[in-house]
Amino acid sequence: MSILKPQIARKFAKCINPLSDEDKEQLKSMVEESLKIMLDTNYLEYNVVPKVLGFKPIPLACFVNVIIHCLLSDHRFLEIVMYTHTDKNTSESLLASFKMLALSNQYTKEKTVDITDVYNFIVSAKPDIFPKGEIGEASMFYKQCIDMLREEILTTPNANLQLFEKIFYKQSYEFFSCPVCKANTSTTPVIQSSIDLLITVKETTLQAAIKKHVAEVKKELLQECEYCHKTKITNAQLTYMATKFQPEPELLVFTFSWDPNKGRPKIKYPYLLPPIQHFSELTYTLKSVICYTGNNDNGHFDCYSFAGINWYYLDGKNVRKITDIKDIFRPSRVTMLFYQQNEIMNPDSDSDDDDDEPIVPIPHLSDDDNIDTNLLQNQPQETEEEDIAAFIEKTLSDTEAKEEGNVISVEKGCIVPPPSDIFAYADEEDNK
């Protein structure tokens, strides 16, 4: 079979509507061959423009609809799944299921796409979390999607795990300061695909919830201080840091939890999320909003998502364009928030340092590649001038990569014109 360029594959797809199973399989083979050429040469020359389609509904699975809608509206996610080769079929691989879904989304004229393969793969892999046919949580489904994709990419030859983690994962440390001997230590880094914020008040803001999440607290350790052996109570500081091993993620995802007996809190969120100490030094732009209507036992998920140059609203299988950006602010119903890096306000976020040393990810292929945890520790201080903040700065410097490597940068999408006060919240309450 001759290898077709993507433009030809698109024209071929437009001639077949609706697609039969045989034609769809033939188109899949053609498109995969052309995408392989992109990957072998320089696929970044080809821009993936997300299309917004409805979904063929799955009963009691609206949580699946909103997550897949948010993922398919992100060109970086599309590029990852479309340009990663897999020999497995959709019943054996979540990556293959998403690949087929993304190709159908890109290269056909169908008004709706079938998400059953992705749904079946997740619920069959995690039946204890997602009993088939029952209502599930959107936040848990997202975490399972991203984490399972990461596990599969990790074992896929020539797959770009580095790029996947650069887009979807954020790194955190926990720093401890002994009040007796003033010694500072830290845990090994942890990466996570979403940040869960515990809300304990009736009304708050996203910034306030983040600051509370990373606030310094008193904490009891399982063992006494390894230096003075006199105390188990220390000052603990949770800090999210970017290093050359793990840069700031291109996508920030927030989930929220609260006491169900106290009612749903109201969470106000801004269009632009500014830098916050101990959390991020970059500015992020709102990308998607997932909302929930109902009670603890029965309800419905819907979402607002930015794709291309417009915002869209998804309710089940129906999609409509948003004409007033204020509609995306639903503080009384929000349950998940997606933010993407703002390339205009972070012009140097992806640039190299003065020594032009490229970014290198945290290795994951073998135990021999793990970070030397000795780099994350500091001996007891002789003076009180170097407090925990200074120790964090020193750790950030010490853990930067020494070796060389390469990172493929994915071109960021355009950003919709923001409200007049981009750091403010919408004043309007929910109208629905």
Mean pLDDT, the chain, rounded, equals 69
Tens digit of each residue's pLDDT (9 = 90 or more) over 315-340:
766 788 888 888 999 999 999 999 99
Q: What pLDDT is attached to residue 386?
A: 46
418: which residues sit within 8 A by CB, 6+ positions away?
A: 271, 272, 285, 325
Residue 282 pLDDT greater than 90, yes or no: no
Angle formed at CA 300 by CA 299 and CA 303, multiple of 5 degrees: 145
Between CA 60 and CA 120 the distance in angstroms is 13
Angle formed at CA 230 by CA 241 and CA 216, multiple of 5 degrees: 30
CA atoms within 13 A on the CB side of 80: 28
Query: Which amino acid, residue 19?
Result: L
Q: What is the dihedral of CA 77, 81, 82, 84, to 10 degrees?
A: 130
Residue 405 pLDDT greater than 50, yes or no: no
Name the CATH topology of 20-341.
Cathepsin B; Chain A (3.90.70)
Lowest average pLDDT, out of 175-184, 234-243, 258-267, goes to: 234-243
Q: Could you tell me if 86 and 95 are in contact, meaning their C-beta atoms sit under 8 angstroms apart?
A: yes
Percent of the residues in the chain that have a pLDDT greater than 90, as a whole number: 13
At 148, is the secondary structure helix, strand, or coil?
helix
| Pairwise pLDDT comparison (290 vs 281), residue with the higher score | 290
Please compute the mean of the pLDDT values over residues 107-114 and round it to a whole number: 64
Angle formed at CA 74 by CA 204 and CA 171, multiple of 5 degrees: 60
At 268, is the secondary structure helix, strand, or coil?
strand
Residue 377 pLDDT greater than 50, yes or no: no
Encode burial over 108-126: b for 16+ CB neighbours within 10 A, e otherwise: bebeebebebbbebbbeee
At 324, is the secondary structure helix, strand, or coil?
coil
Q: What pLDDT is attached to residue 17?
A: 45
212 conformational bin, left if phi > 0, alpha if psi -120 to 50, beta if neither? alpha
Q: Among residues 236, 200, 331, 339, which one has the least CA distance to residue 280? A: 339
List the structure tokens of 171: 């790194």
Q: What pLDDT is attached to residue 315?
A: 79
Binned at pLDDT 50, 70 and 90, residue 271 comes out as: very high
Between CA 220 and CA 204 the distance in angstroms is 28
Q: Among residues 70, 71, 89, which one has the least CA distance to residue 81? A: 71
| Helix or strand holding residue 293 (H, E) | strand 284-294
Binned at pLDDT 50, 70 and 90, residue 307 comes out as: confident
Residue 70 pLDDT greater than 80, yes or no: yes
Query: Which amino acid, residue 200?
Result: T
Sign of the alpha-carbon dihedral angle for 13, 17, 21, 23: negative
At 42, is the secondary structure helix, strand, or coil?
coil
Taking only Cα atoms into account, the Rg of the chain, rounded to an integer number of angstroms, comes to 23
Q: What pLDDT is attached to residue 286?
A: 94
Between CA 82 and CA 77 the distance in angstroms is 8
Please list the helix, strand and coil fractions of the chain in percent, rounded to the nearest 5, in that order.
30, 20, 50
Query: What pTM was computed for the model?
Result: 0.70
At 39, is the secondary structure helix, strand, or coil?
helix
Phi, psi of 110 (to 5 degrees): -65, 145
Q: Could you tell me if 159 and 96 are in contact, meaning their C-beta atoms sit under 8 angstroms apart?
A: no
List the structure tokens of 322: 């948003």
Residue 97 pLDDT greater than 70, yes or no: yes
Q: Among residues 204, 80, 193, 76, which one has the least CA distance to residue 141? A: 193
Residue 416 pLDDT greater than 80, yes or no: no
Between CA 286 and CA 338 the distance in angstroms is 6
List the structure tokens of 350: 């992806």
Between CA 423 and CA 182 the distance in angstroms is 38
Lowest average pLDDT, out of 24-38, 169-183, 231-245, 350-364, goes to: 350-364
Residue 203 pLDDT greater than 60, yes or no: yes
Between CA 417 and CA 402 the distance in angstroms is 40
Most confident stretch, 25-29, 101-105, 393-397: 101-105
Query: Which amino acid, residue 178?
Result: C
Q: How many CB atoms lie within 10 A of CB 245?
A: 20
Q: Could you tell me if 339 and 251 are in contact, meaning their C-beta atoms sit under 8 angstroms apart?
A: yes
